Chains A and B, each alone.
Chain A
Amino acid sequence: MFIANGKISFTFADLLKMQRVGSGKHGSILDKSLSRGKTEVNFSSFALLFAEMIRYANNRSNTVSDLQDKLLGYGKFVGSRLLDVIVLREKGYRREVKLLNMLMFVKGTIWKNLFNKEADKLERSNDDPCQYLLIEKEPIVNTYISVPKDKGNLNCASFIAGIIEAVLEASNFSCKVSAHWHDGTTYIIQFDRHVIARENALLELTR
């Protein structure tokens, strides 16, 4: 990812760990201004593309958890690239440093940008201070996916879990996110202990 004069771009080059060399005839992608992100695509196109991706990933994985990991990986790819764009557009490149604000940013702003609506609920787990739950009744990616019986616990919302994980990780809240069937779909966000410790120390300071 490159940032130049406040312009951001993503390339496969950084993904493939390749040196970027001189750009093509059309000038570099970095020389273009960032679009306002108002483009919208028909949901059918996305649903079918997503279904093909799952089919492909399914053919290349042996177990359900393999497949979930693959979907999580796709999501992380998307999330890590979206974060900067959304932060730049919506918040003038001010990042959240407080945990709760960050989670609200994910639940609200990120979701609105992706799915045109907010996620349904954000809860803190009662028995584990490091655990937060983000609940979505009907994740858009599960709309047309029917899970075969032998893959009972597969949840394609792992893709979205990957997006959340990448966004939080890149904002310096290291965590693991997983998608579960509970109350629709629940994303369990398990923060590393030091994140919560840091948060508590912050609260102490401001008291």
Chain B
Amino acid sequence: MSKQTKFPMGIDSKKISGELFALTYGALVAELLRDLENPLAVNRQLDKMGYNIGLRLADDLLAKNSQIQRCTDMHQVADVLAKIAVRSYLGVTAQVSNWNSRNDEFSLVLDANPLAEFVEVPPELAQDLRYSQILCGAIRGALEMMHMEVQTFIVQEHSQSVEIRVKFIRILQESVPPGDD
């Protein structure tokens, strides 16, 4: 740790090698391809895993970044995603672009894809496999924790960048779990 980071020192500012991260993810995708044999099923499983990760990451993010205020519109959400979340968890920067006219849909473009280092997807899979689908799941899961239902999908991905489309669906209301009156 030679670099100055903005995090408070502690276990949380620990970093690991990006290559270990990318290869570990590769091991997972390879295993899923072997197990499920169908790229579309692999996408679904990756999305599910990402969702589980996102549910937990949301807490982690808010706990470590006390400067994040409650977001009142999607522009603020996009800002937090691009400027804080992506930067602190993936170590790359992201741009927000392509807002639609209703301001409820945008693209998050990562300047690099930390998951895809050393990766070349064979052409017969490239059509269907969404290699970085786990990112979509994570964004969906994290925003759900903040009471926002969104749809996410990958527009395009290669090792230099990923473009993720995020579409706001509705605000989730606080609901009492059934049977708890």
Contact = CB atoms under 8 A, between A and B. Distances in A.
Given A39-B91, A42-B88, A114-B17, A23 B120 contact: yes
B89 A44 contact: yes
Interface in A18-55: 18, 20-24, 26, 28-29, 35, 37, 39-46, 48-50, 52-53, 55
A81 B23 contact: yes
Interface of B: 1, 11-12, 14-21, 23-35, 45, 49, 52-53, 56-57, 60, 88-91, 114, 117-126, 134, 158-160
B24 A78 contact: yes
Contacts of B21: 41, 45-46, 49
Contact of B33 (A12, A73, A143): A12
24 contacts: A9-B120, A10-B26, A10-B118, A11-B122, A12-B125, A15-B30, A26-B158, A28-B120, A39-B114, A39-B117, A40-B91, A41-B17, A41-B21, A43-B16, A44-B89, A45-B90, A49-B24, A52-B49, A56-B28, A56-B32, A70-B31, A77-B27, A78-B24, A81-B23
Given A12-B26, A12-B30, A48-B53, 11 more contacts: A9-B118, A9-B120, A22-B123, A28-B120, A39-B91, A41-B18, A41-B89, A42-B90, A48-B57, A78-B27, A81-B118
A11 B120 contact: yes
A136 to B, nearest CB: 14
A140 interface: yes
Contact of B17 (A12, A15, A115): A115
Instruction: Give the interface residue-count category, chain A.
Output: 35 or more
Contacts of A45: 21, 57, 89-90
Contacts of B114: 39, 41
A146 interface: no
A113 B52 CA distance: 28
A81 B90 CA distance: 21
B90 A116 contact: no
Interface of A: 9-13, 15-16, 18, 20-24, 26, 28-29, 35, 37, 39-46, 48-50, 52-53, 55-57, 60, 70, 73-75, 77-78, 81-82, 85, 113-116, 140, 143
B19 A39 contact: yes
A75 B11 CA distance: 24
A187 B57 CA distance: 31
Contacts of B123: 21-24
Nearest to A32: B159
Q: Most chain-B CB neighbours within 10 Å: which of A24, A28, A75?
A: A24
A35 B117 contact: yes
A12 B122 contact: yes
Contacts of A10: 26, 118-119
Nearest to B134: A49
